[in-house]
Amino acid sequence: MELLKTVEVETGTNVNAAVIWLHGLGSNGHDFEPIIPQLKLPGEKSARFILPHAPSIPITINGGMVMPAWFDILKHGERHIDAGQLLSSAAAIHKLIDREIDRGIASDQIILVGFSQGGAVCLQAGLTYDKPLSGILGLSTFFPSAEAITPHPSNGSLPIQIFHGTLDTMLPEWMAENTVKYLKKMGYHPHYKTYPMSHSVCPEEIEDISQWLQDRLL
């Protein structure tokens, strides 16, 4: 499997952590690049942000239109996706994690962040990775593989934060609530916070993302 093409941004000179941040449907790795300076990470929290580009594939609910996506969505709902493509995308993220370890980053200083279907891939990839990670941050996301996934013991107590908009009509809040419910059923202790926003990111959330990342980074 070839490595995904990525955008990389380092926030300091002594990088000792990595944040792999996945975009949502129809976007690309540049989507969240402008947010990185807004996070205002302190100098001692230097991190390498890796923002991969999803491959372009036909999307069934969009009339077969070809666009960047981590997996096909067959129809609206939690489970109506191409599960094989989700697993393939998770495997591609595992490869990016492996590369960061090869570059000298400890696995427990690697964080996965994902927006929308990017968050779904992060949940699948993070919970099944065979070395301990630092955490998963899901932004306006859902958990389509919840009933099929087998978490790896190495990440059996992985810190997880879920942020979601109460006005989200693309992925209604009940999907986020179900994500939290499924994670708790698996024995995790996810934190959950909402914002009065649609399927997007708001300034208050960016501040919370910054604080959460700082709490996870050495």
pLDDT tens profile 21-64: 999 999 999 999 999 999 999 888 889 999 999 999 999 999 99
pLDDT at 218 over 90: no
pLDDT at 116 over 80: yes
Query: How far lies 50's CA from each of 19, 94, 210, in Å?
Result: 6, 13, 16
Summarised one tens digit per residue, pLDDT across range 122-154 is 999 999 999 999 999 999 999 999 999 999 999
Catalytic positions: 116, 168, 199
Summarised one tens digit per residue, pLDDT across range 60-115 is 999 999 999 999 999 887 778 999 999 999 999 999 999 999 999 999 999 999 99
Please check whether residue 114 is in contact with residue 122, taking contact to mean a CB–CB distance below 8 angstroms.
Answer: yes
Task: Give me the CATH code for the 6-216 domain, please.
Answer: 3.40.50.1820
pLDDT for 34 equals 97
pLDDT for 14 equals 87
Distance separating alpha carbons of residues 156 and 146, to the nearest angstrom: 14
pLDDT for 42 equals 86
pLDDT at 1 over 80: no
Summarised one tens digit per residue, pLDDT across range 199-216 is 999 999 999 999 999 999
Distance separating alpha carbons of residues 47 and 56, to the nearest angstrom: 28
pLDDT for 21 equals 98
For the chain, the structural domain boundaries read 6-216
Summarised one tens digit per residue, pLDDT across range 164-174 is 999 999 999 99
Distance separating alpha carbons of residues 58 and 63, to the nearest angstrom: 8
Distance separating alpha carbons of residues 80 and 89, to the nearest angstrom: 16
Distance separating alpha carbons of residues 150 and 162, to the nearest angstrom: 20
Please check whether residue 208 is in contact with residue 193, taking contact to mean a CB–CB distance below 8 angstroms.
Answer: yes
pTM assigned to the model: 0.97
Distance separating alpha carbons of residues 29 and 4, to the nearest angstrom: 10
